[in-house]
Structures are given as C-alpha cells and as structure tokens.
Structure 1
Amino acid sequence: MNRDTRKVKIKAFRFNKETDYLPYTKEYEMEVGKDDLVLDLMNRIKWEHDGSFSYRRSCRHGICGACGIKVNGKPVLACKQNAIELLDLFDNDITLEPQSKQRAVKDMIIDKGDFWDKHAAVTPYVVADVDPHPETESKQSIAEFNAMLDSDLCIQCGSCHYACPALEVNPDYLGPAALTAAYRFSIDTR
C-alpha cells in the first residue's frame, strides 16, 4: 500500500432473483486511490474478486445514467462519484446498494419497468401542431430557452425516482423524473 491509497473493506449488496431467497451483503478488501470512482471499485470487485458481481455501466461520463446506485442510502452515479470522498464521509464504511432493493434482479441491477412506464405516461416529447413544410424555422428567445434549461439536464438515471419517499406510499404518483420531463416539454415554446 502506498501513501496515495487506502486499504478498505467495501460491502456490496448481493442478490440473484433466480437463485437467492434473501439478499445478503458481502465484503471485498481493496486499495482505493484518491482518483478512484465508485465505478472503479465495482469494476475491481467484478474483475479481481467475484466475476458474478453484476451492475450496469456504459458511458463513464455521467450522461447515460446506467450506473445509478446507492452508497449507504445516498443516490450516486458510480461513474461520477469519487470513492475517497464517500469513504471520508462515512468513516471508511461504505455499502454499495441497488437503487431499489425491492426491484433488485441481480446485485446492482434492478427492473426499471415502473420508472419507464411512468415516464411514458407523461408523453415526454414535443407534440406540435406545425406545418410540415414551414417557411421559417421555429425560434426560441434566450429567456424561453433558459426557463427550460435545468429540467432538460435530467439524464433519466432514476436516482430521484427511487429515492422519492412519496412513491413508497403512493404507487400512482408519477415521481420526480416523469414530472420533470412533463414540465420540460410543457414549457417548450416550439
């Protein structure tokens, strides 16, 4: 171990819907460097400790949302979250968990069908009554664009959806991601 790394035990939620009756937690010992992301730890678990460990990943740039998980109950994108920051925050004791334990399919992978059903229910795209052959382009003012800018930054990772306590008590509630998508397209002036 060099001085730029820290030897820690990472706990991970483990569950396989096909073979396990109940989920369990497994510990993995590893060295974590100052630049390691949570995704690096997950890769290390899979590649160096247990090839059956399962999770989603894709872009590694925080734009696709595939790697959304919880660390000690805190929603994070594994590809954006620095591991040392979390180890400091939680006194070297972190547990990797799926976004929703109730929807776990295998380890960090969950069934997001409910999330996408609610998203589709709000018609998350522009429905415009426009001339198919316009003579001019459809323009927005800077103020109109800025009004919808923040809501357009949502990458549909599901982190807010699965952290929302209202969804736990009211399954008919659409959730923050679907409502953000509805808002974004309802204020689009085009």
Structure 2
Amino acid sequence: MEVTFKVYRYNPEVDEKPHYEKYTLDMSDDGVILDALNKIKWEIDGSLSYRRSCRHGICGSCAIKLNGKNVLACKTSIKEAVEMFGDTLVIEPLSKNKEKVIKDLVNDKKDFWDKNAKVKPYLIAEIDEHPKSENLIKPALVEMIEEADYCIACGCCYYACESVRANKDFLGPQALAKTYRFTADVRDEAKKERLELVDKLGIGIWDCVKCQACIEVCPKGVDPFTKITHLHNQVFEEGVAKRNVATKHAEGFVHSIKKHGILDEGMLVLYSEGVNVVRHMPEAMAMFMKGKIKLPWQMPKSEGLEEIQKLIEISQTHELKD
C-alpha cells in the first residue's frame, strides 16, 4: 500500500518557520502510523524527531495530530486512516504553537505536566507503612471510578480542548479527570481539598465549555467530560461549591426545569447574574425579537411536568438556594 505522509518539520535552532516534507512509503496493510515514522527516521531522514516508547498504547508518549485529530501513533491503523482521510496523511505535533515545539513532532508539555501535578495525582491517605495485607475495596466501589484510572496522560484531550486554548490557567480535561479518579476513590482522604481546588473560577470545572472534544480524542475511553460533570455534582454534595455566577448558573437550570419542564433562557441569565444582567440587554433584545426567549408569563409548561418534577426530586443530591 503506497501512502504519502506530509510531516510537520520545524527546528527552532535553524528554521525560520515551520514547513512540511512529503514522504511516499510502501506500507503493509497492518501497519500503524508509528511504523511510518520509524521508517522515515531509520531509512530516509534520521533528523526527524518524535516521541515513542512502549508501542502498546500505555505510555502515551507518541501522541500526535493526524489530519487534525489527536491520536496515538502506535494505535492508529494506516489502512483505516487512509480510508478516512485519503492517501495523503498529514502528521503534526499536538500543538503547532512555535513556542511549544521543541523540534518537529516533539512538544514542550511543561504546562500539561504542571497542571497534572497541581491536582496531586496520587492517593492521599494515612496508611500503615508496613501493611500485612492489601487495602482492598468492593467491586461496586471500584466501579464508581468509572475507568478514570485508565488515563495514560498522553495529552490528546488537553491539546484538543477549546477552554485550554482560550484560557492558559484552565487545568484541562486530563487533570480534572485525574481529580475525579481520586475523589471517587473511597480510600482517598483529600476529597474536600481536591474539590476546593477544582471549584475555583478561572482554572476549574466551571470553565469547561462542554465542547466534548476530549471525548472524541481520548484513546482509552476515559471520557473526561463526564468526569467533569461528576465533579460538578460532588462540589455541591460535599458543600464545597461557593456562591458565584457559575454555581448559580448550575442551580438556575434546575429551578427552570423544575418550574417549566423546559429551560427559560432569559430567567436563567437573570438568576445567574442578578443586576449584572443589564450588560446582556442588547443580546436579550435580539433574542426576544427572534423568539429565542420569552417573557415570564409567556413561558409554556412541558407535557408531563409533574413526572419531570418527580424525577428531579428523586435525583437531586443537595438543597438549592432560592
């Protein structure tokens, strides 16, 4: 199978700007992208730089961008990639920000690892230094972690995240999923401390824009977005959530659905922001003229409202403030 690989090349020490080089290779049908990178480096151009280690989808070091999607080079079939993207495959680093490119496909991931370290990605508990048996927990309690421990810290989700791109302080989906891995672990004794960190505006769970790109690119099926949603619930359940525009926005959803069965977008903003809602008046008027929002007395009630209210009562885990 003849395939053309268009590879991102950039050496800050000698190149004025990045460029792409094309390599046409004869690859076997069962080959993966890492095989192509190895073949280029070993047989054609030894100056090509990229990261690799285990080749088994465990270390996460070979994460790259393939035709715009973050993937693991060692787990991505060339044949399937050609079927999806055509016979020219574009290989780039996870971030093309020139300040983050060390060389070619190798990124400086210091920001990623700093945020990973910030959430203390390890069990915190007072334990016997010389235990005589394992600290076992029941299977049902293990299931509460929901595969968050499958994360290999490859960075695919982090470098696909729109919130990270817009806000350099945002912890990102990997660090937040890692936080949930321990807040869901009954053996961990730092749950409140962890939740207090991710509850902070500007860096934590409230700054996720719910684009769900992290779900699409995670090679291990961790689903960071759902873990972030669980953290939203936990900060309320544990009494950690601070009263601010973000938490009021979350509560406003419940109030609105409980009252109407559907979302009252206009009142949601008013509930969330109070008097500061005046800054949104131009947008509110435009939405009103388009029928996107309604006046309070115009709001319809959903069919089966009583059933919806019962479901909320059953599932609600904390008391809402008025």
Both structures adopt the same fold (TM-score exceeding 0.5) = yes
CA distance in structure 2 between the aligned counterparts of 1:30 and 1:44, rounded to whole angstroms: 8
Q: Give 1 or 2 for the bigger CA radius of gyration.
A: 2
User: Who is 1:77 aligned against?
Assistant: 72
TM-score relative to the length of structure 1 = 0.92
CA distance in structure 2 between the aligned counterparts of 1:90 and 1:139, rounded to whole angstroms: 46
Q: How many residues get paired?
A: 185
Counterpart of 2:82 (choices 67, 84, 87) is 87
Are 1:120 and 2:120 counterparts?
A: no
Q: Deviations over 1:36-74 (max 9, x none)?
A: 100000011111211100101110100000100010111
Q: Deviations over 1:145-171 (max 9, x none)?
A: 011141000001111111111101011
Please, which runs of 5 or more residues in structure 1 have no aligned partner?
1-5
Q: Deviations over 1:76-113 (max 9, x none)?
A: 11111101111110111211000111111111111010
SS at match of 1:36: coil
Shift of 1:119: 0.3
RMSD: 1.5
User: Who is 2:60 aligned against?
Assistant: 65
Counterpart of 2:144 (choices 138, 144, 147) is 147
Distance 1:45 1:136, change over 3 A: closer
1:54, 1:108 within 8 Å by CA — same for their partners in 2?
yes
Counterpart of 1:39 (choices 20, 29, 34) is 34
Amino acid of the structure 2 residue aligned with 1:18: E
Counterpart of 1:164 (choices 161, 164, 177) is 161
Please, which runs of 5 or more residues in structure 2 have no aligned partner?
188-322
CA distance in structure 1 between the aligned counterparts of 2:111 and 2:31, rounded to whole angstroms: 32
CA distance in structure 2 between the aligned counterparts of 1:150 and 1:65, rounded to whole angstroms: 16
Task: Compare the two structures and name the one with the higher helix fraction.
Answer: 2
Shift of 1:134: 6.2
CA distance in structure 2 between the aligned counterparts of 1:17 and 1:189, rounded to whole angstroms: 47
Indicate the percent of aligned positions where both proteins have the same amino acid.
48
TM-score relative to the length of structure 2 = 0.55
Counterpart of 1:55 (choices 50, 59, 81) is 50
User: Who is 1:21 aligned against?
Assistant: 16
Runs of 4+ in structure 1 off by over 2 angstroms are 129-139
Are 1:176 and 2:173 counterparts?
A: yes
- Relative contact order: is structure 1 or structure 2 higher (C-alpha 8 Å, sep ≥ 6)? 1
Task: Compare the two structures and name the one with the higher strand fraction.
Answer: 1
